[in-house]
């Protein structure tokens, strides 16, 4: 468990992550394992990211090392009088790490940073054309109340795990929460399967002593000892040092999970500012001179809609409902959009937008061709998915 934590290059804002510096070594080891031990012949990603092949190879390598360390630990513990204390520190480390990630993902949901509102192009993509993960993300992202609820049920065990008296309860709640998360990741093919399984394993490890007592009490109807081992200190000075250190760690976790939101001043991404011209535009007039006009040859067909994506993309929906996207930059001084077709010359097109009638006018050139497009901005809040309506009865007007 500690090996996976210290070698995972998980991105944090305040707390330093050892995985950032250790990952080059472990990625090289994973590549060696794939090339020489398993002799993988197909091109694969050796980086330790998400659910890459490199991540699975890394987990295999760590499993071998952990097995050897577990054997050594079993031999050593028999002769060690402080085994209970070592076990406490290991469980505490696992509990704090699990709490950190639960609080991180919990606040991501509460402040709508994880399940954000569906982008304009997603709203106009037919249901059957969406991948399962995008479909799930978009469905949850369309509901502010459910996203907040999903975040709160992760925040509750995250807080409980920080204190020894409530740790068992927190771990049991977290076990149910993470079991649901793992099921979602597998059922909707979300690419964080390895991490979610690891967190589920942490929940089980921390909750196991309490689960064992509950099983013996309710199933076997045996008497159980309600007392649990507690850390003791030889002096008040050490007890004070422990209390200060624990307060510092909890404070550091709080700063870590809240820093990105405080820094951005964004506590509800649904209402956060969007980029210039962000939205969906219904094409009303287009004049494309020839196959060398301002947009690429593939999109030089009948345009249906134009989308400006918040991540910096200019997206064209054609008449046959295929989508073509271009990385987008703004040249505000010259009132131009700069598009970057893959492997082709940069395209510059002049823009003019009228707030009064919601009209976007684009005019550009590439080579000898010229093109003009006029499109009207659509009100996304009028779409049923964005209406956020609530009905107490099934026969209420919709």
User: Model confidence over 42-79: pLDDT tens digits?
Assistant: 899 999 998 999 999 999 999 999 888 878 777 776 66
Distance CA 280, CA 118 (A): 12
Contact between 307 and 283 under an 8 Å Cβ cutoff? The reply is no
The tens digit of pLDDT for each residue in 200-215 reads: 999 999 998 887 777 7
Residue 163 token pair: 């204190």
Helix (H, G, I), strand (E, B) or coil at 175: helix
Distance CA 158, CA 110 (A): 14
Task: Using a cut of 0.85, tell me whether the model's pTM lies above it.
Answer: yes
pLDDT at 369: 55
Whether pLDDT at 365 is above 70: no
pLDDT at 145: 94
Give the mean pLDDT of 298-313.
83
Q: How many CB atoms lie within 10 A of CB 287?
A: 11
Among residues 242, 232, 169, 178, which one has the least CA distance to residue 206?
Answer: 169
Share of the chain above pLDDT 90, in %: 60
The tens digit of pLDDT for each residue in 165-223 reads: 899 999 999 999 999 999 999 999 999 999 999 999 999 999 988 877 777 777 777 77
**Confidence category of residue 290, pLDDT binned at 50, 70, 90:** low
């Amino acid at each position: 468990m500690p090996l996976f934590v210290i070698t995972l290059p998980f991105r944090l804002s305040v707390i330093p992550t050892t995985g950032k510096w250790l990952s080059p070594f472990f990625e090289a080891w994973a590549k060696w394992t794939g090339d020489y031990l398993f002799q993988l012949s197909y091109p694969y990603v050796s980086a330790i990211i998400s659910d890459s092949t490199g991540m699975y190879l890394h987990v295999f390598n760590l499993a071998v090392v952990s097995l050897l360390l577990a054997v050594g630990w079993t031999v050593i513990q028999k002769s060690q009088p402080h085994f209970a204390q070592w076990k406490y520190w290991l469980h505490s480390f696992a509990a704090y790490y699990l709490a950190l990630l639960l609080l991180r993902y919990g606040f991501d949901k509460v402040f709508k940073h994880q399940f954000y509102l569906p982008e304009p192009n997603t709203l106009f993509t037919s249901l059957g054309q969406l991948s399962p993960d995008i479909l799930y993300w978009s469905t949850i992202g369309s509901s502010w109340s459910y996203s907040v609820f999903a975040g709160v049920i992760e925040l509750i065990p995250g807080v409980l795990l920080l204190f020894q008296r409530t740790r068992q309860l927190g771990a049991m709640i977290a076990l149910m929460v993470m079991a649901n998360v793992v099921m979602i990741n597998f059922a909707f093919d979300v690419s964080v399967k390895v991490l979610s399984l690891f967190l589920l394993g942490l929940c089980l490890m921390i909750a196991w002593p309490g689960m064992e007592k509950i099983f013996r009490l309710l199933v076997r109807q045996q008497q159980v000892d309600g007392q649990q081992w507690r850390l003791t200190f030889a002096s008040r000075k050490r007890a004070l040092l422990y209390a200060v250190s624990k307060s510092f760690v909890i404070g550091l976790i709080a700063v870590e999970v809240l820093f990105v939101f405080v820094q951005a001043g964004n506590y509800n991404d649904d209402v956060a500012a969007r980029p210039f011209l962000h939205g969906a535009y219904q094409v009303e007039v287009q004049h494309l001179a020839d196959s060398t006009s301002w947009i690429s040859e593939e999109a030089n067909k009948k345009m249906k809609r134009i989308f400006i994506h918040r991540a910096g993309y200019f997206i064209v929906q054609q008449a046959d409902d295929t989508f073509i996207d271009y990385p987008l930059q703004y040249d505000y001084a010259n009132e131009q959009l700069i598009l970057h077709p893959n492997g082709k010359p940069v395209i510059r097109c002049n823009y003019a937008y009228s707030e009064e009638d919601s009209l976007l006018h684009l005019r550009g050139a590439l080579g000898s061709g010229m093109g003009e497009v006029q499109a009207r901005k659509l009100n996304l809040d009028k779409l049923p998915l964005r209406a956020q309506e609530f009905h107490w009865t099934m026969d209420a007007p919709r």
